Chain A
Amino acid sequence: MGTLELIRFIAGIILLSVGFVTFLTELVGVFHFKYVLNRMHAAGMGDTLGVFSSMLGLIIINGLNMTSVKFGLIIVFLWFTSPVATHMLAEMECGADGQYKDECRVSATVKELGEDE
Chain B
Amino acid sequence: MHDISAFFDFTNHPVESTLICFMMGLALFLIICLVRAVKGPKACDRLVAVNMMGSITMVIIACLCVVLDEGFLADICLIYSLLSFLAVVLFAKVKIGIYRQELEREEAVLEQESIDILVKENTEGKNGNA
Contacts and interface: CB of A to CB of B under 8 A. Distances in A.
Interface residues of B, number: 44
A97 to B, nearest CB: 7
B55 A46 contact: yes
B22 A70 contact: no
Contact of B78 (A9, A26, A70): A70
Interface stretch (B87-95, B107-115, B120-128): B87-95
Chain A binding surface, main DSSP class? helix
Contact of A96 (B33, B36, B99): B99
Interface string A83-99: 01110110111011100
A38 B75 CA distance: 33
B81 A50 contact: no
Nearest to B94: A92
Nearest to A73: B78
A3 B66 CA distance: 20
B51 A43 contact: yes
A11 interface: no
B7 interface: no
Contact of A30 (B19, B48, B63): B48
Given A19-B59, A27-B33, A71 B45 contact: no
A78 B80 CA distance: 11
A47 B55 CA distance: 6
A7 interface: no
Given A67-B65, A89-B51, 9 more contacts: A24-B29, A30-B49, A43-B48, A61-B15, A67-B71, A71-B74, A88-B88, A89-B47, A96-B99
24 contacts: A12-B15, A23-B29, A23-B56, A31-B32, A36-B48, A39-B48, A43-B49, A51-B55, A55-B62, A58-B65, A62-B66, A67-B66, A70-B74, A73-B78, A74-B62, A74-B77, A78-B58, A78-B81, A82-B85, A85-B51, A89-B51, A92-B92, A92-B96, A95-B99
